[in-house]
Chains A and B, each alone.
Chain A
Amino acid sequence: MQVELKHVFKTFRHNGSAVEALHDINLTVADGEFVCLLGPSGCGKSTVIHLVAGLDRPTAGEVLVGGRPVAGPDPSRTVVFQDAALFPWLTVLGNVEFGLRMTGVAPSQRRARAMEYLRLVHLSKFIHAYPHQLSGGMKQRVALARALALQPGILLLDEPFAALDAQTRAVLQNELLEIWELARPTILFVTHNVREATGLADRVYVISSRPGHIRDVQAVAVPRPRHAEDKALLALQHNILGLLGDEVEKVLREELGETVHFPEAQHAVPPEQSRGMHI
Protein backbone atom coordinates (compact mmCIF):
# COMPACT_ATOMS: atom_id res chain seq x y z
CA MET A 1 0.00 0.00 0.00
CA GLN A 2 1.45 3.31 -1.08
CA VAL A 3 1.37 6.40 1.13
CA GLU A 4 1.41 9.88 -0.31
CA LEU A 5 1.24 13.31 1.30
CA LYS A 6 0.63 16.22 -1.07
CA HIS A 7 1.14 19.80 0.11
CA VAL A 8 0.02 18.94 3.61
CA PHE A 9 -0.32 21.75 6.14
CA LYS A 10 -1.40 21.31 9.72
CA THR A 11 -2.19 24.11 12.14
CA PHE A 12 -3.15 23.57 15.76
CA ARG A 13 -5.04 25.99 17.93
CA HIS A 14 -3.15 26.45 21.13
CA ASN A 15 -4.41 28.85 23.80
CA GLY A 16 -6.29 30.81 21.20
CA SER A 17 -3.35 31.29 18.86
CA ALA A 18 -2.60 29.24 15.77
CA VAL A 19 0.57 27.15 15.76
CA GLU A 20 1.74 25.76 12.45
CA ALA A 21 2.94 22.19 13.03
CA LEU A 22 3.44 21.10 9.43
CA HIS A 23 4.32 23.30 6.47
CA ASP A 24 3.88 22.03 2.92
CA ILE A 25 4.82 18.38 3.49
CA ASN A 26 5.26 16.30 0.36
CA LEU A 27 6.33 12.73 0.76
CA THR A 28 5.74 9.31 -0.68
CA VAL A 29 6.31 5.85 0.69
CA ALA A 30 6.25 3.14 -1.97
CA ASP A 31 4.47 -0.15 -1.42
CA GLY A 32 6.60 -2.27 0.91
CA GLU A 33 9.15 0.48 1.43
CA PHE A 34 10.70 1.29 4.82
CA VAL A 35 10.85 5.05 5.28
CA CYS A 36 12.06 6.99 8.31
CA LEU A 37 11.06 10.50 9.27
CA LEU A 38 14.00 12.00 11.13
CA GLY A 39 13.76 15.25 13.02
CA PRO A 40 14.22 16.95 16.35
CA SER A 41 11.52 16.74 18.99
CA GLY A 42 8.60 19.04 18.31
CA CYS A 43 9.08 19.07 14.53
CA GLY A 44 5.64 17.62 13.87
CA LYS A 45 6.76 14.18 12.72
CA SER A 46 4.29 12.47 15.07
CA THR A 47 1.56 14.59 13.48
CA VAL A 48 2.43 12.96 10.14
CA ILE A 49 1.85 9.53 11.74
CA HIS A 50 -1.50 10.70 13.11
CA LEU A 51 -2.55 12.01 9.71
CA VAL A 52 -1.70 8.77 7.93
CA ALA A 53 -3.36 6.75 10.72
CA GLY A 54 -6.51 8.82 10.24
CA LEU A 55 -6.47 10.03 13.85
CA ASP A 56 -6.23 13.63 12.69
CA ARG A 57 -6.99 15.59 9.52
CA PRO A 58 -4.74 17.97 7.63
CA THR A 59 -5.64 21.67 7.64
CA ALA A 60 -4.83 21.72 3.94
CA GLY A 61 -3.48 19.25 1.41
CA GLU A 62 -4.08 15.58 0.79
CA VAL A 63 -3.15 12.40 2.62
CA LEU A 64 -3.53 9.46 0.25
CA VAL A 65 -3.23 5.77 0.94
CA GLY A 66 -3.32 3.52 -2.10
CA GLY A 67 -4.38 6.62 -4.05
CA ARG A 68 -7.43 7.25 -1.85
CA PRO A 69 -7.79 10.02 0.73
CA VAL A 70 -7.64 8.88 4.34
CA ALA A 71 -11.11 9.21 5.93
CA GLY A 72 -10.36 7.89 9.41
CA PRO A 73 -8.57 5.15 11.29
CA ASP A 74 -8.55 1.74 9.67
CA PRO A 75 -7.16 -1.61 10.82
CA SER A 76 -5.16 -1.79 7.59
CA ARG A 77 -3.00 1.03 9.03
CA THR A 78 -1.87 0.15 12.54
CA VAL A 79 0.29 2.20 14.86
CA VAL A 80 2.98 1.42 17.42
CA PHE A 81 3.08 4.35 19.84
CA GLN A 82 6.08 5.53 21.81
CA ASP A 83 4.74 4.39 25.16
CA ALA A 84 3.11 1.21 23.84
CA ALA A 85 -0.44 2.32 24.76
CA LEU A 86 -1.40 -1.22 25.76
CA PHE A 87 -4.79 -1.85 27.36
CA PRO A 88 -3.89 -2.35 31.04
CA TRP A 89 -6.96 -4.46 31.79
CA LEU A 90 -6.06 -7.09 29.18
CA THR A 91 -3.34 -9.72 29.32
CA VAL A 92 -0.59 -9.80 26.70
CA LEU A 93 -2.69 -12.29 24.72
CA GLY A 94 -5.81 -10.16 25.20
CA ASN A 95 -4.00 -7.11 23.86
CA VAL A 96 -2.82 -8.93 20.74
CA GLU A 97 -6.27 -10.47 20.20
CA PHE A 98 -7.96 -7.08 20.67
CA GLY A 99 -7.75 -5.88 17.06
CA LEU A 100 -8.81 -9.31 15.79
CA ARG A 101 -11.85 -9.24 18.04
CA MET A 102 -12.73 -5.70 16.91
CA THR A 103 -12.48 -6.64 13.25
CA GLY A 104 -14.61 -9.76 13.70
CA VAL A 105 -12.04 -12.54 13.31
CA ALA A 106 -13.55 -15.83 14.55
CA PRO A 107 -12.53 -16.72 18.14
CA SER A 108 -10.79 -19.95 17.10
CA GLN A 109 -8.58 -18.16 14.56
CA ARG A 110 -8.05 -15.22 16.87
CA ARG A 111 -6.11 -17.21 19.40
CA ALA A 112 -3.94 -18.95 16.81
CA ARG A 113 -3.14 -15.71 14.99
CA ALA A 114 -2.30 -13.86 18.22
CA MET A 115 -0.02 -16.70 19.31
CA GLU A 116 1.71 -16.64 15.93
CA TYR A 117 2.64 -12.97 16.30
CA LEU A 118 3.54 -13.35 19.96
CA ARG A 119 6.02 -16.06 18.91
CA LEU A 120 7.39 -13.68 16.32
CA VAL A 121 8.23 -11.14 19.04
CA HIS A 122 9.42 -13.89 21.45
CA LEU A 123 6.70 -13.42 24.03
CA SER A 124 5.10 -16.88 23.95
CA LYS A 125 6.00 -17.42 27.60
CA PHE A 126 4.33 -14.21 28.78
CA ILE A 127 0.90 -14.42 27.20
CA HIS A 128 -0.92 -14.38 30.55
CA ALA A 129 1.05 -11.46 32.03
CA TYR A 130 -0.52 -8.02 32.41
CA PRO A 131 1.15 -4.90 30.97
CA HIS A 132 2.12 -3.55 34.40
CA GLN A 133 4.26 -6.66 34.92
CA LEU A 134 6.32 -6.08 31.76
CA SER A 135 9.49 -4.09 31.08
CA GLY A 136 9.45 -1.23 28.58
CA GLY A 137 11.02 -3.41 25.88
CA MET A 138 8.48 -6.19 26.42
CA LYS A 139 5.61 -3.73 26.26
CA GLN A 140 6.85 -2.54 22.87
CA ARG A 141 7.06 -6.15 21.70
CA VAL A 142 3.40 -6.59 22.67
CA ALA A 143 2.50 -3.35 20.91
CA LEU A 144 4.32 -4.55 17.81
CA ALA A 145 2.60 -7.95 17.89
CA ARG A 146 -0.76 -6.23 18.42
CA ALA A 147 -0.18 -3.98 15.40
CA LEU A 148 1.11 -6.84 13.22
CA ALA A 149 -1.65 -9.30 14.13
CA LEU A 150 -4.07 -7.32 11.97
CA GLN A 151 -1.69 -7.94 9.05
CA PRO A 152 -1.74 -4.27 8.08
CA GLY A 153 -0.64 -3.03 4.69
CA ILE A 154 0.89 -0.06 6.44
CA LEU A 155 2.70 -0.10 9.77
CA LEU A 156 3.21 3.26 11.45
CA LEU A 157 5.77 3.54 14.22
CA ASP A 158 5.97 6.69 16.33
CA GLU A 159 9.38 6.68 18.08
CA PRO A 160 8.68 3.13 19.25
CA PHE A 161 12.11 2.50 20.75
CA ALA A 162 12.97 6.00 22.00
CA ALA A 163 12.34 5.22 25.67
CA LEU A 164 14.35 1.98 25.67
CA ASP A 165 17.97 1.37 26.64
CA ALA A 166 20.52 1.06 23.83
CA GLN A 167 20.82 -2.76 23.90
CA THR A 168 17.07 -3.40 23.93
CA ARG A 169 16.65 -0.85 21.17
CA ALA A 170 19.27 -2.54 18.96
CA VAL A 171 17.66 -5.96 19.45
CA LEU A 172 14.18 -4.65 18.65
CA GLN A 173 15.44 -2.78 15.59
CA ASN A 174 16.86 -6.02 14.19
CA GLU A 175 13.66 -7.89 14.96
CA LEU A 176 11.58 -5.21 13.29
CA LEU A 177 13.72 -5.56 10.16
CA GLU A 178 13.30 -9.34 10.20
CA ILE A 179 9.56 -9.00 10.55
CA TRP A 180 9.42 -6.40 7.80
CA GLU A 181 11.37 -8.65 5.40
CA LEU A 182 8.96 -11.47 6.23
CA ALA A 183 5.63 -9.65 5.75
CA ARG A 184 6.79 -6.59 3.78
CA PRO A 185 4.32 -4.02 5.09
CA THR A 186 4.89 -0.43 4.07
CA ILE A 187 6.61 1.18 7.05
CA LEU A 188 6.66 4.79 8.14
CA PHE A 189 8.96 5.06 11.13
CA VAL A 190 9.43 8.26 13.12
CA THR A 191 12.63 8.83 15.08
CA HIS A 192 14.98 11.54 16.30
CA ASN A 193 17.96 9.18 16.22
CA VAL A 194 20.18 9.50 13.14
CA ARG A 195 21.77 6.11 13.62
CA GLU A 196 18.39 4.44 13.98
CA ALA A 197 17.01 6.10 10.84
CA THR A 198 20.00 5.25 8.64
CA GLY A 199 20.28 1.75 10.10
CA LEU A 200 16.69 0.85 9.29
CA ALA A 201 15.28 2.81 6.37
CA ASP A 202 15.38 2.60 2.60
CA ARG A 203 15.00 6.36 2.58
CA VAL A 204 15.19 9.02 5.28
CA TYR A 205 13.16 12.21 5.21
CA VAL A 206 14.92 14.87 7.26
CA ILE A 207 12.42 17.16 8.95
CA SER A 208 13.19 20.61 10.34
CA SER A 209 11.13 22.17 13.08
CA ARG A 210 8.96 25.21 13.69
CA PRO A 211 7.06 24.72 11.49
CA GLY A 212 7.82 21.13 10.49
CA HIS A 213 8.98 21.00 6.88
CA ILE A 214 11.02 18.59 4.80
CA ARG A 215 14.64 19.63 4.69
CA ASP A 216 15.99 16.79 2.60
CA VAL A 217 15.48 13.21 1.45
CA GLN A 218 18.34 10.74 1.62
CA ALA A 219 18.32 7.27 0.11
CA VAL A 220 20.26 4.78 2.21
CA ALA A 221 22.07 2.85 -0.52
CA VAL A 222 23.63 0.36 1.88
CA PRO A 223 22.49 -3.27 1.57
CA ARG A 224 21.12 -5.03 4.65
CA PRO A 225 22.25 -6.38 7.03
CA ARG A 226 23.97 -3.08 7.73
CA HIS A 227 26.96 -2.76 9.96
CA ALA A 228 27.34 0.16 12.31
CA GLU A 229 30.94 0.67 11.08
CA ASP A 230 29.98 0.77 7.41
CA LYS A 231 31.80 3.71 5.81
CA ALA A 232 28.93 4.74 3.58
CA LEU A 233 26.53 4.67 6.52
CA LEU A 234 28.82 6.80 8.66
CA ALA A 235 29.28 9.27 5.83
CA LEU A 236 25.53 9.51 5.41
CA GLN A 237 25.00 10.08 9.13
CA HIS A 238 27.68 12.75 9.07
CA ASN A 239 26.02 14.34 6.08
CA ILE A 240 22.61 14.42 7.79
CA LEU A 241 24.05 15.74 11.04
CA GLY A 242 25.83 18.46 9.09
CA LEU A 243 22.56 19.29 7.39
CA LEU A 244 20.86 19.57 10.74
CA GLY A 245 23.87 20.96 12.58
CA ASP A 246 22.29 24.28 13.33
CA GLU A 247 19.03 22.55 14.22
CA VAL A 248 20.78 20.16 16.62
CA GLU A 249 22.22 23.15 18.38
CA LYS A 250 18.89 24.95 18.43
CA VAL A 251 17.00 22.01 19.86
CA LEU A 252 19.65 21.14 22.42
CA ARG A 253 19.72 24.76 23.54
CA GLU A 254 15.96 24.68 24.01
CA GLU A 255 16.06 21.38 25.83
CA LEU A 256 19.12 21.89 27.98
CA GLY A 257 19.25 25.64 28.38
CA GLU A 258 21.93 28.07 27.28
CA THR A 259 24.85 26.24 28.86
CA VAL A 260 25.52 24.09 25.80
CA HIS A 261 28.38 25.29 23.60
CA PHE A 262 29.20 24.16 20.12
CA PRO A 263 32.58 25.64 19.21
CA GLU A 264 32.40 24.52 15.57
CA ALA A 265 28.76 23.65 15.35
CA GLN A 266 28.57 22.03 11.93
CA HIS A 267 31.82 20.07 11.80
CA ALA A 268 32.50 19.50 15.46
CA VAL A 269 31.08 16.00 15.41
CA PRO A 270 33.39 13.51 13.70
CA PRO A 271 31.55 10.59 12.16
CA GLU A 272 33.02 8.11 14.65
CA GLN A 273 31.30 9.86 17.51
CA SER A 274 28.14 10.77 15.72
CA ARG A 275 26.71 7.26 15.47
CA GLY A 276 24.39 7.37 18.43
CA MET A 277 23.72 11.03 17.98
CA HIS A 278 20.23 12.16 18.72
CA ILE A 279 19.03 15.31 17.14
Chain B
Amino acid sequence: MRRLLKPIQAVALLYLLWQVTSWLFPAWPGPSRVLEILWAQLQDPGFQTALWGSARRMAIGYTAVVIVGIGFGLLIGRLPLLDQITGSLAVALHAIPGAAWVPLAILWFGMTERAVLFTILLGASGIVMVSTDTGIREVPPLVRRAAQTLGARGVKYFWFVVVPAAIPKMVDGLRLAWAFGWRALMAGELLTSVSGLGQRLNQVAKAQQLDALLALMLLLAMVGVVVDGLVFKRLEQAVRVRWGLL
Protein backbone atom coordinates (compact mmCIF):
# COMPACT_ATOMS: atom_id res chain seq x y z
CA MET B 1 0.00 0.00 0.00
CA ARG B 2 2.85 2.32 0.94
CA ARG B 3 4.36 1.71 -2.47
CA LEU B 4 1.22 3.09 -4.09
CA LEU B 5 1.09 6.23 -1.97
CA LYS B 6 3.46 8.30 -4.10
CA PRO B 7 1.82 7.55 -7.49
CA ILE B 8 -1.62 8.25 -5.95
CA GLN B 9 -0.38 11.59 -4.63
CA ALA B 10 1.09 12.43 -8.02
CA VAL B 11 -2.15 11.59 -9.85
CA ALA B 12 -4.22 13.57 -7.35
CA LEU B 13 -1.95 16.60 -7.75
CA LEU B 14 -2.13 16.36 -11.54
CA TYR B 15 -5.91 16.07 -11.40
CA LEU B 16 -6.11 19.14 -9.17
CA LEU B 17 -3.87 21.23 -11.44
CA TRP B 18 -5.88 20.21 -14.49
CA GLN B 19 -9.14 21.08 -12.74
CA VAL B 20 -7.82 24.50 -11.74
CA THR B 21 -6.60 25.33 -15.27
CA SER B 22 -9.99 24.31 -16.72
CA TRP B 23 -11.64 26.75 -14.30
CA LEU B 24 -9.28 29.50 -15.40
CA PHE B 25 -9.68 28.75 -19.11
CA PRO B 26 -13.26 27.72 -19.90
CA ALA B 27 -12.35 26.50 -23.41
CA TRP B 28 -10.09 23.87 -21.82
CA PRO B 29 -12.07 20.73 -20.85
CA GLY B 30 -11.69 19.61 -17.24
CA PRO B 31 -10.60 16.15 -16.12
CA SER B 32 -14.05 14.94 -15.10
CA ARG B 33 -15.49 15.77 -18.52
CA VAL B 34 -12.57 14.10 -20.31
CA LEU B 35 -12.77 10.97 -18.16
CA GLU B 36 -16.49 10.81 -18.81
CA ILE B 37 -15.90 10.90 -22.56
CA LEU B 38 -13.14 8.32 -22.27
CA TRP B 39 -15.50 6.02 -20.38
CA ALA B 40 -18.21 6.49 -23.01
CA GLN B 41 -15.71 5.85 -25.80
CA LEU B 42 -14.60 2.63 -24.19
CA GLN B 43 -18.18 1.36 -24.34
CA ASP B 44 -18.50 2.23 -28.02
CA PRO B 45 -18.07 -0.83 -30.34
CA GLY B 46 -16.43 1.27 -33.07
CA PHE B 47 -13.87 2.56 -30.59
CA GLN B 48 -13.26 -0.91 -29.21
CA THR B 49 -12.47 -2.14 -32.71
CA ALA B 50 -9.96 0.67 -33.11
CA LEU B 51 -8.43 -0.10 -29.71
CA TRP B 52 -8.06 -3.80 -30.45
CA GLY B 53 -6.67 -2.99 -33.88
CA SER B 54 -3.93 -0.89 -32.30
CA ALA B 55 -3.26 -3.49 -29.60
CA ARG B 56 -2.95 -6.25 -32.20
CA ARG B 57 -0.59 -4.23 -34.38
CA MET B 58 1.52 -3.34 -31.35
CA ALA B 59 1.68 -7.01 -30.34
CA ILE B 60 2.71 -8.16 -33.82
CA GLY B 61 5.09 -5.26 -34.37
CA TYR B 62 6.75 -5.60 -30.99
CA THR B 63 7.19 -9.34 -31.40
CA ALA B 64 8.93 -8.67 -34.70
CA VAL B 65 11.08 -6.02 -32.98
CA VAL B 66 12.15 -8.49 -30.29
CA ILE B 67 13.01 -11.21 -32.80
CA VAL B 68 14.77 -9.01 -35.34
CA GLY B 69 16.43 -6.76 -32.74
CA ILE B 70 17.85 -9.52 -30.56
CA GLY B 71 18.64 -11.75 -33.52
CA PHE B 72 20.55 -9.12 -35.40
CA GLY B 73 22.11 -7.80 -32.16
CA LEU B 74 23.47 -11.27 -31.36
CA LEU B 75 24.71 -11.65 -34.91
CA ILE B 76 26.69 -8.41 -34.94
CA GLY B 77 27.90 -9.11 -31.41
CA ARG B 78 29.13 -12.55 -32.45
CA LEU B 79 30.68 -11.69 -35.80
CA PRO B 80 33.14 -8.79 -35.54
CA LEU B 81 33.44 -8.54 -39.33
CA LEU B 82 29.69 -8.17 -39.77
CA ASP B 83 29.74 -5.64 -36.97
CA GLN B 84 32.32 -3.54 -38.80
CA ILE B 85 30.16 -3.48 -41.89
CA THR B 86 26.71 -3.17 -40.38
CA GLY B 87 27.28 -2.24 -36.74
CA SER B 88 27.04 1.45 -37.42
CA LEU B 89 23.93 0.68 -39.45
CA ALA B 90 22.17 -0.39 -36.25
CA VAL B 91 23.23 2.87 -34.59
CA ALA B 92 22.01 4.84 -37.62
CA LEU B 93 18.73 2.93 -37.55
CA HIS B 94 18.42 3.79 -33.88
CA ALA B 95 19.10 7.46 -34.68
CA ILE B 96 16.17 7.84 -37.10
CA PRO B 97 12.92 8.80 -35.31
CA GLY B 98 10.17 6.22 -35.78
CA ALA B 99 7.77 8.70 -37.43
CA ALA B 100 10.35 9.39 -40.15
CA TRP B 101 9.81 5.86 -41.51
CA VAL B 102 6.12 6.45 -42.24
CA PRO B 103 6.52 8.13 -45.67
CA LEU B 104 8.77 5.33 -46.88
CA ALA B 105 6.39 2.75 -45.42
CA ILE B 106 3.46 4.30 -47.28
CA LEU B 107 5.50 4.48 -50.48
CA TRP B 108 6.28 0.77 -50.25
CA PHE B 109 3.15 -0.69 -48.68
CA GLY B 110 0.47 1.93 -49.33
CA MET B 111 -1.95 3.04 -46.61
CA THR B 112 -2.03 -0.45 -45.10
CA GLU B 113 -1.47 -2.26 -41.86
CA ARG B 114 1.85 -3.53 -43.20
CA ALA B 115 3.05 0.04 -43.46
CA VAL B 116 2.29 0.53 -39.76
CA LEU B 117 4.05 -2.70 -38.79
CA PHE B 118 7.04 -1.69 -40.90
CA THR B 119 7.17 1.64 -39.06
CA ILE B 120 7.16 -0.09 -35.67
CA LEU B 121 9.85 -2.53 -36.74
CA LEU B 122 12.19 0.11 -38.12
CA GLY B 123 11.43 2.59 -35.36
CA ALA B 124 12.09 0.26 -32.44
CA SER B 125 14.46 -2.56 -33.43
CA GLY B 126 17.58 -0.35 -33.65
CA ILE B 127 17.71 0.21 -29.89
CA VAL B 128 17.34 -3.52 -29.25
CA MET B 129 20.20 -4.31 -31.64
CA VAL B 130 22.46 -1.69 -30.09
CA SER B 131 21.76 -2.73 -26.51
CA THR B 132 22.13 -6.45 -27.28
CA ASP B 133 25.43 -5.76 -29.03
CA THR B 134 26.62 -3.65 -26.08
CA GLY B 135 25.63 -6.36 -23.60
CA ILE B 136 27.60 -8.92 -25.57
CA ARG B 137 30.68 -6.73 -25.57
CA GLU B 138 30.52 -5.97 -21.88
CA VAL B 139 30.76 -9.42 -20.36
CA PRO B 140 32.40 -8.81 -16.96
CA PRO B 141 36.07 -9.92 -17.10
CA LEU B 142 35.70 -12.07 -13.99
CA VAL B 143 32.76 -13.97 -15.51
CA ARG B 144 34.78 -14.44 -18.70
CA ARG B 145 37.80 -15.77 -16.80
CA ALA B 146 35.71 -18.11 -14.64
CA ALA B 147 34.00 -19.50 -17.75
CA GLN B 148 37.30 -20.00 -19.58
CA THR B 149 38.88 -21.92 -16.69
CA LEU B 150 35.79 -24.17 -16.61
CA GLY B 151 36.29 -25.20 -20.22
CA ALA B 152 33.85 -22.84 -21.97
CA ARG B 153 34.86 -22.26 -25.61
CA GLY B 154 33.44 -21.11 -28.91
CA VAL B 155 29.74 -21.60 -29.49
CA LYS B 156 29.10 -22.99 -26.01
CA TYR B 157 30.86 -20.02 -24.46
CA PHE B 158 28.68 -17.71 -26.54
CA TRP B 159 25.35 -19.37 -25.71
CA PHE B 160 25.94 -20.26 -22.09
CA VAL B 161 27.98 -17.24 -20.96
CA VAL B 162 27.92 -14.28 -23.32
CA VAL B 163 24.19 -14.31 -24.07
CA PRO B 164 22.98 -14.69 -20.46
CA ALA B 165 25.54 -12.11 -19.32
CA ALA B 166 24.03 -9.69 -21.87
CA ILE B 167 20.43 -10.14 -20.68
CA PRO B 168 20.30 -7.10 -18.36
CA LYS B 169 21.35 -4.84 -21.24
CA MET B 170 18.89 -6.53 -23.59
CA VAL B 171 16.06 -5.89 -21.13
CA ASP B 172 17.03 -2.21 -20.98
CA GLY B 173 16.77 -2.13 -24.77
CA LEU B 174 13.42 -3.96 -24.82
CA ARG B 175 11.96 -1.48 -22.38
CA LEU B 176 13.01 1.48 -24.52
CA ALA B 177 11.85 -0.33 -27.65
CA TRP B 178 8.36 -0.63 -26.17
CA ALA B 179 8.17 3.15 -25.81
CA PHE B 180 9.66 3.74 -29.27
CA GLY B 181 7.29 1.17 -30.79
CA TRP B 182 4.27 2.78 -29.16
CA ARG B 183 5.24 6.15 -30.66
CA ALA B 184 5.88 4.58 -34.07
CA LEU B 185 2.49 2.86 -33.94
CA MET B 186 0.74 6.18 -33.36
CA ALA B 187 2.73 7.91 -36.10
CA GLY B 188 1.92 5.09 -38.51
CA GLU B 189 -1.78 5.07 -37.69
CA LEU B 190 -2.04 8.86 -37.82
CA LEU B 191 -0.73 8.98 -41.35
CA THR B 192 -2.30 5.86 -42.81
CA SER B 193 -6.00 5.06 -42.98
CA VAL B 194 -5.77 1.96 -40.82
CA SER B 195 -8.44 1.72 -38.13
CA GLY B 196 -6.77 2.39 -34.80
CA LEU B 197 -6.20 4.87 -32.03
CA GLY B 198 -3.97 7.02 -34.26
CA GLN B 199 -6.69 7.29 -36.88
CA ARG B 200 -9.19 8.21 -34.12
CA LEU B 201 -6.85 11.00 -33.02
CA ASN B 202 -6.94 12.33 -36.54
CA GLN B 203 -10.71 12.14 -36.75
CA VAL B 204 -11.49 13.96 -33.49
CA ALA B 205 -8.87 16.61 -34.24
CA LYS B 206 -10.44 17.27 -37.64
CA ALA B 207 -13.87 17.48 -35.98
CA GLN B 208 -12.32 19.90 -33.46
CA GLN B 209 -13.49 17.79 -30.53
CA LEU B 210 -10.93 18.94 -27.99
CA ASP B 211 -12.39 16.92 -25.11
CA ALA B 212 -12.41 13.69 -27.13
CA LEU B 213 -8.86 14.41 -28.30
CA LEU B 214 -7.70 14.86 -24.72
CA ALA B 215 -9.50 11.66 -23.71
CA LEU B 216 -7.59 9.75 -26.39
CA MET B 217 -4.26 11.24 -25.39
CA LEU B 218 -4.97 10.40 -21.77
CA LEU B 219 -5.60 6.81 -22.83
CA LEU B 220 -2.31 6.71 -24.77
CA ALA B 221 -0.43 7.97 -21.71
CA MET B 222 -2.17 5.50 -19.43
CA VAL B 223 -1.43 2.51 -21.64
CA GLY B 224 2.23 3.55 -21.84
CA VAL B 225 2.57 4.03 -18.09
CA VAL B 226 0.72 0.85 -17.17
CA VAL B 227 2.61 -1.43 -19.54
CA ASP B 228 5.96 0.07 -18.54
CA GLY B 229 5.16 -0.20 -14.84
CA LEU B 230 3.52 -3.62 -14.83
CA VAL B 231 5.75 -5.37 -17.35
CA PHE B 232 9.06 -3.68 -17.99
CA LYS B 233 9.90 -2.16 -14.62
CA ARG B 234 9.18 -5.48 -12.94
CA LEU B 235 11.17 -7.42 -15.50
CA GLU B 236 14.09 -5.04 -15.17
CA GLN B 237 13.95 -5.22 -11.38
CA ALA B 238 13.83 -9.02 -11.37
CA VAL B 239 16.79 -9.22 -13.75
CA ARG B 240 18.82 -6.70 -11.75
CA VAL B 241 18.25 -8.58 -8.51
CA ARG B 242 19.22 -11.93 -9.96
CA TRP B 243 22.22 -10.61 -11.86
CA GLY B 244 23.40 -8.98 -8.64
CA LEU B 245 23.35 -5.47 -10.11
CA LEU B 246 21.57 -3.87 -7.16
- List A residues at the B interface (Cβ < 8 Å): 50, 53-55, 72-75, 77-79, 81, 83, 85-90, 98-99, 101-103, 130-132, 146-147, 150
- CB–CB B149/A75 < 8 A: yes
Which residues of B are found within 8 Å of A88, using beta-carbon distances? Answer: 242-244
- CB–CB A85/B244 < 8 A: no
Which residues of B are found within 8 Å of A83, using beta-carbon distances? Answer: 142
12 residue pairs A–B, Cβ–Cβ below 8 Å = A74-B151, A75-B149, A81-B142, A85-B146, A89-B242, A98-B147, A101-B160, A102-B160, A103-B151, A132-B241, A132-B243, A132-B244
Q: Does B164 sit within 8 A of A, measured CB to CB?
A: yes
Which chain B residues (142-167) contact chain A, with CB distance < 8 Å?
Answer: 142-143, 145-153, 156-157, 160-161, 164-165, 167
B43 to chain A, nearest CB (A): 46
Q: How large is the interface on B (under 10, 10 to 19, 20 to 34, 35 or more residues)?
A: 20 to 34
Q: Considering the chains assembled together, what is the distance between the CA atoms of A73 and B148 in angstroms? A: 6
- CB–CB B149/A73 < 8 A: yes
Which residues of A are found within 8 Å of B153, using beta-carbon distances? Answer: 102
Decide if the interface of chain A is mainly helix, strand, loop or mixed.
loop
Q: Answer whether A78 and B149 are a contact pair too, CB < 8 Å, given A83-B142, A98-B160, A101-B160.
A: yes
Q: Answer whether A85 and B167 are a contact pair too, CB < 8 Å, given A98-B150, A132-B241, A132-B242.
A: no
Which residues of B are found within 8 Å of A74, using beta-carbon distances? Answer: 151
Q: Which has the most chain B C-beta neighbours within 10 Å: A50, A86, A87, A101?
A: A87
Q: Considering the chains assembled together, what is the distance between the CA atoms of A127 and B148 in angstroms? A: 23
Q: Considering the chains assembled together, what is the distance between the CA atoms of A55 and B141 in angstroms? A: 11
Which residues of B are found within 8 Å of A72, using beta-carbon distances? Answer: 148
List the B residue with the shortest CB-CB distance to A156.
B149
Which residues of B are found within 8 Å of A73, using beta-carbon distances? Answer: 148-149, 151
- CB–CB A85/B151 < 8 A: no
Which residues of B are found within 8 Å of A98, using beta-carbon distances? Answer: 147, 150, 152, 160
Q: Considering the chains assembled together, what is the distance between the CA atoms of A98 and B165 in angstroms? A: 14
Which residues of A are found within 8 Å of B142, using beta-carbon distances? Answer: 81, 83, 85
- CB–CB B151/A75 < 8 A: yes
Q: Which has the most chain B C-beta neighbours within 10 Å: A74, A99, A102?
A: A102
Which chain B residues (130-187) contact chain A, with CB distance < 8 Å?
Answer: 142-143, 145-153, 156-157, 160-161, 164-165, 167
Closest A-B pairs by Cβ, 6 of them: A75-B151, A99-B150, A85-B146, A102-B151, A73-B148, A89-B164
A146 to chain B, nearest CB (A): 7
A21 to chain B, nearest CB (A): 17
Which residues of B are found within 8 Å of A150, using beta-carbon distances? Answer: 150-151
Which residues of A are found within 8 Å of B164, using beta-carbon distances? Answer: 87, 89-90
B38 to chain A, nearest CB (A): 42
B33 to chain A, nearest CB (A): 49
Please tell me which one of the listed residues A75, A79, A131 contacts residue B244 in the complex, with CB atoms under 8 A apart: A131
Which residues of A are found within 8 Å of B161, using beta-carbon distances? Answer: 87
B154 to chain A, nearest CB (A): 10
Q: Considering the chains assembled together, what is the distance between the CA atoms of A75 and B142 in angstroms? A: 16
